[in-house]
């Protein structure tokens, strides 16, 4: 005998607060296609009015909006409805981030001391894994990484006896 479960009748309610019409409509469309009930507001003032009509299960809010921005809106939300989870979005902040230069892989790998079998441990500058190298001389050397097959350059500056 098969037992059928009752259909879920409760729909989660989401409030999207964003001054960008396209983002509101996109968010609404995506969430509604997944079965959520979605309410939208253009700024913090409209968001507060929406909260009076129906308390959401979650709020998605932009930070940079005219009239009442997201910081002000969410300050009120935190005070009055601290249990409602919030997702904060802001495209404006991305423009304010400092440009960081991309770090390129070092041209030479780190070399570790020889072990008791006279093998060097070399760390690949591409995959960052360490692999053994059997033969190397003082000066510039090359080896293929055992893991990613990248050509790795390493330099031995001097030979030091370990007691």
**Residue 60 covered by a domain:** yes
Mark whether 140 and 75 lie in a shared domain: no
What's the whole-number mean pLDDT along residues 133-158? 83
Domain count within the chain: 2
pTM of the model as a whole: 0.54
**Residue 6 covered by a domain:** no
Q: Which residue range forms the structural domain that includes residue 115?
A: 110-156
Mark whether 41 and 88 lie in a shared domain: yes
- Model confidence at 146, in pLDDT bands (50, 70, 90)? confident
For 21-72, the pLDDT digits (tens) are 999 999 999 999 999 999 999 999 999 999 999 999 999 999 999 888 898 9
What's the whole-number mean pLDDT along residues 97-126? 62
Residue 86 vs residues 13, 55, 66, 97: alpha-carbon distances, Å:
12, 13, 19, 23
The reported pLDDT for the residue numbered 102 is 44
């Amino acid at each position: 005998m098969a037992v059928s479960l009752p259909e879920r009748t409760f729909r989660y309610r989401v409030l999207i607060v964003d001054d960008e019409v396209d983002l509101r409509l996109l968010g609404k469309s995506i969430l509604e296609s997944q079965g959520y009930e979605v309410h939208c507001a253009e700024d913090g003032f409209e968001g507060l009015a929406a909260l009076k009509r129906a308390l959401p299960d979650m709020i998605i809010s932009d930070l940079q909006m005219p009239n009442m921005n997201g910081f002000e809106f969410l300050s009120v939300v935190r005070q009055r409805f601290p249990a409602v989870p919030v997702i904060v979005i802001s495209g404006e902040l991305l423009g304010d981030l400092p440009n960081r230069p991309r770090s390129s892989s070092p041209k030479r790998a780190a070399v570790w001391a020889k072990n008791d079998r006279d093998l060097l441990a070399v760390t690949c500058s591409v995959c960052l894994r360490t692999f053994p190298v059997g033969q190397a001389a003082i000066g510039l050397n090359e080896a293929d990484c055992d893991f990613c097959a990248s050509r790795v350059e390493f330099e031995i500056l001097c030979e030091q006896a370990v007691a």
